[in-house]
Amino acid sequence: MNATDEKNVIVTGAKKGIGHATVLKLAQAGYNVWACARAFDAEFEEELAKMAEKYGVWIEPVYFDLSDEGLTKEAIKGIISEKKKIDVLVNVAGTVFNGSFAMTSMTKIKEIFEVNFFNQIQIMQMISRSMMRKRNGVIVNVTSVSGIEITEGKLAYGSSKAALIYATKAISRELACYNIRVNAIAPGLTDTDMNKTISEDEIAVVLNRSSLKRMAQPEEIANAIEFLASDQSSFMTGQVLIVDGGRLWC
């Protein structure tokens, strides 16, 4: 593959769960990857090196904590300074918090929004400028069905994801003239560490309302992300693709 034919993608939250599955899926499809994680991990780097060799791509680890605006900005500036074209940005990283409205402090709400919304907007602003210069690009945001459905105890998390859904739609309108597509994935319950904070009873309630009666595997969400990242979705922008196993709330 010629350098001009290569596709380069940034994936946040690349160490575990949906983010890790997305790195693997896109590497298999021939994408070069900046794999972003919170902190250095030698085992993670070794795994990325093996993955890169196996699929004939480069995978570069990048470390920053999304809760820190300054570190996030510096890390993204570092990627941009490499002067490689950035074709796709996939915002997977996020954090969850469960708690009643009355017991959720403003400090906690701000913490959740810092990771799930504010710094993801910052990343999109910085990367979209690079995409605008070459008048091409794709952004995929991983939101959640919690940003669409109303569930008790999800005020901070659900509100942050709802904000990201709105931002996805608004940004897609502004960037369309630069041939930049912006879409979102809204996964349902997925078998990741994040959902280990949910009780078995809560999981059972959700699965009983699901047509498929099971949680998603991270690979299944990564399949949908790959679709939105690829030219197969070339006429889609401003959309939220719900991947939830057919949750029925009526």
Of the candidates 63, 157, 166, 178, the residue annotated as catalytic is: 157
From first CA to last CA, the distance across the chain in angstroms is 50
Contact (Cβ atoms closer than 8 angstroms) between residue 96 and residue 111: no
Per-residue burial over 106-125, b = 16 or more CB atoms within 10 Å of its CB, e = otherwise = eeebebbbbbbbbbbeebbe
DSSP state of 185: E
Phi, psi of 9 (to 5 degrees): -135, 140
The beta strands (E) that lie in the chain are given as 7-11, 31-37, 59-63, 88-91, 137-142, 180-187, 240-243
Instruction: Based on the residue annotation, tell me whether 55 is a catalytic residue of this protein.
Output: no
3-class SS shares of the chain: helix, strand, coil, % to 5:
50, 20, 30
Rounded CA separation 6/133 (Å): 18
The contacts of residue 71 (CB under 8 Å, 6+ apart) are 64, 65
Active-site residues, by number, are: 157
